Structure 1
Amino acid sequence: MSSENISSSPLYKDNSDWSDITPIYASKDEDLAVKIAVTEDFIDAFAYFRAVLIKDEKSERVMRLLEDCIRLNPANYTVWQYRRACLTELGSDLKKEMRYLNDIIQESSKNYQVWHHRRFIVEKMGESAVHDELRFCSEVIREEEKNYHAWQHRQWVVRTFKVSLDDELTFALKMLLIDSRNNSAYNYRYFLLTLYDKTEDAERIAIEINLAKEFIQNIPNNESAWNYLTGLLITNGITSNNEVVSFVEDLYETTPEEKRSPFLLSFIADMMLENVENQKSAEESAERAKKLYKDLQSVDPVRVNYYKHQSLLTQTLLIKSQTKVAAK
């Protein structure tokens, strides 16, 4: 705030520069409906915000008022929306606004409104903002590797400006090497495959499958890697890739029974379920699936009801398969 706007009191009601504005305080009915404990400066700032909102004033002093309102409640959608209207009408310096947002996000990185506002600014700035935006997302993600908002924002930047696939796959891999259990990084990698129409690219999918296998080999209890492997195969079926079938069966055979991962057991059980559906050694596959689901009830008791359901489903699918065979 410039020196001429400084008063002995931090409140707007005591600032002569705001004497032309009549503040609008919450009514008694509003207070009765939702009584919220707020500070005096909160009541003061938002009373003046309501007044300028009705007056539709867009000025530099309003921009400063909005900063105070954001400081007091950074999740207020209306304040951010009005700030966007002011920025547009005033033709404000967008680079300066981005620096302001950098500071806000550092303090409140899981605030939906600030990320939404950032998207608006990037759209206004266009291609020139992409490099800095990817760098900023990287910084936020490195501070908190599973920050949903930062990953989503990065997806939006890549989708909007068609950023290099190879560069982004490299970034995702770096994050997986830091933490191979980072589900956000796997999700981002799969997003890239779908965005650039690579899910039908046999060579690319083979690379991704080998990557997932490598992470599973190193950490068999890595649920994120198992989910990623399943996602890569789901279109054609998890038994469609013979190398994967051999990989999981070898892992099963070479791992002592008491150390077998529940995700390994579940994956093989689902393979057997798929065999039943495809009438491939249906009876033998059904028996093995039911045994695996029974074992899983002890190994992974949190999902016991799911495994019971899957066991019943296996029997139902077997009956259907037998009926189809008999009808031929």
Structure 2
Amino acid sequence: MHGRLKVRTTEEQRLLKEKEQQKKLTAYQTGMKQILSTRNPTSYDPKSFAISAQLLVVNPDIYTLWNYRKEVILLELDKSKSECKDTIIDNGICDEKSQESLDVTKGLIKFLENEIRLTEQCLLANPKSYGSWHHRYWIMEHHPEPNWQNEFELCTKYLTMDDRNFHCWDYRRLILNKIGMSLEDEIKFSTERINVNFSNYSSWHYRSTLRKLDKDSLESEINLIMNAIFTDPADSSAWFYLRWVLSNPEMTEGHRKQLSQTLDQLLELEPDSKWCLLAKCWINGIKKGENMNEDQIEELTENYKKLLILDPLRKGFYSHYLNALESKKLNNA
């Protein structure tokens, strides 16, 4: 009737969606054909280069296009070096004595800055795009005047918005040595992000890449973990980090005994905590079985039996260890 909006049927919506998808596919195929047909090891087509940027903004995970753009950038770097009339220092930087050389270097910097801006557009479309992060770092390494401090601050900003973006954590780790950031400051930043969100597995993992734990740092790490697991015993992030800490050669029998007693306190509060029972098994499992006494074997057996009930999806895993413990009992008899 007049004056009423027409509501499309499900079939009409499906056909419109298919039409839109076909339109995008055609544009993609046409663009890729243009790019590949003009791909050349000694020169490049500016139109194809622009099309590749348009395609990447829509889908930043097309590795072929990132590789194509790297080829073009290498051509520009070679061109910059050949056009410099004076001594070339590195990465296309020309001797400041020549104004012409300065102009060439400025042109190269502008070209690379545009490429950095492209990666920013792509990261807005997909903040966890492998290709975009890798390309950005590659550009920075070929940049005549890389601003690593700006990149580091950008990482801090990104992680404040999404502290689970492990791509950004990896990028930050690569930049650390470029700016000379102290280990203490970076550990502090990681701790701050964990205290904001204990479920931030990326930050827990990041800590494991920063340093090897020693006697001095081991206690503080254990305290941080205990704080996290008592706050949220059901979250897996801190438990996985605990398992990594347990594998440290600086872990003593005293550390394991203290941890086991602390976990017993948690079990009184959370008797059905799967992760707490698993951690108790990890602590005894460090001894590799052959050094365990009968009481330890019995405790492990009881814990795995409870886990069979609490976590039936991993029944085979727990049954395997129960069978191994049963064999150990027979051998000790």
Contact 2:267 2:276 in 1 (8 A): no
Identity of paired residues, percent?
Answer: 22
Q: Which residue of 1 aligns with 2:242?
A: 229
Deviations 1:212-244 (A, max 9, x none): 122223223332212212211213386x24244
How do residues 219-258 of structure 1 correspond to structure 2 at under 5 angstroms?
219-236=232-249, 240-253=252-265, 255-256=267-268
| Matched position secondary structure for 1:263 | helix
Q: Which residue of 2 aligns with 1:288?
A: 299
Q: Which residue of 2 aligns with 1:210?
A: 223
| Matched position secondary structure for 1:256 | helix
1:112: how far off? 1.9
Q: Which residue of 1 aligns with 2:134?
A: 116
Q: Which residue of 2 aligns with 1:4?
A: none
1:293: how far off? 0.7
Contact 1:216 1:225 in 2 (8 A): yes
Name which of 63, 67, 75 aligns with 1:89: 75
| Matched position secondary structure for 1:210 | helix
Query: 2:60 aligned with 1:48, yes or no?
Result: no
Q: Which residue of 1 aligns with 2:85?
A: none
1:154: how far off? 2.2
Count of equivalent residues: 280
Q: Which residue of 1 aligns with 2:99?
A: none
1:256: how far off? 3.3
Q: Which runs of 5+ in 1 are unaligned?
A: 1-35, 324-328
Alpha-carbon distance in structure 2 between the residues aligned to 1:55 and 1:275 = 59
Q: Which residue of 2 aligns with 1:312?
A: 323
Contact 2:38 2:45 in 1 (8 A): no
Structure 1 residue identity aligned to 2:52: L
| Matched position secondary structure for 1:277 | coil
Higher mean C-alpha displacement, 122-131 vs 162-171? 122-131
Alpha-carbon distance in structure 2 between the residues aligned to 1:68 and 1:127 = 26
How do residues 41-190 of structure 1 correspond to structure 2 at under 5 angstroms?
41-54=27-40, 56-58=42-44, 60-91=46-77, 92=108, 93=110, 94-125=112-143, 128-158=146-176, 163-190=181-208
Structure 1 residue identity aligned to 2:308: Q
Deviations 1:271-306 (A, max 9, x none): 3344572534x1111111111110111122232221
Judged with a 3 Å threshold, the aligned counterparts in structure 2 of structure 1 residues 241 and 165 are, in CA distance, closer, same or farther, namely farther
Q: Which runs of 5+ in 2 are unaligned?
A: 1-21, 78-107
TM-score by length of 2: 0.73
Alpha-carbon distance in structure 2 between the residues aligned to 1:61 and 1:38 = 19
1:132: how far off? 1.7
Judged with a 3 Å threshold, the aligned counterparts in structure 2 of structure 1 residues 286 and 40 are, in CA distance, closer, same or farther, namely closer
Judged with a 3 Å threshold, the aligned counterparts in structure 2 of structure 1 residues 46 and 56 are, in CA distance, closer, same or farther, namely farther
CA RMSD of aligned residues (A): 2.9
Structure 1 residue identity aligned to 2:227: E
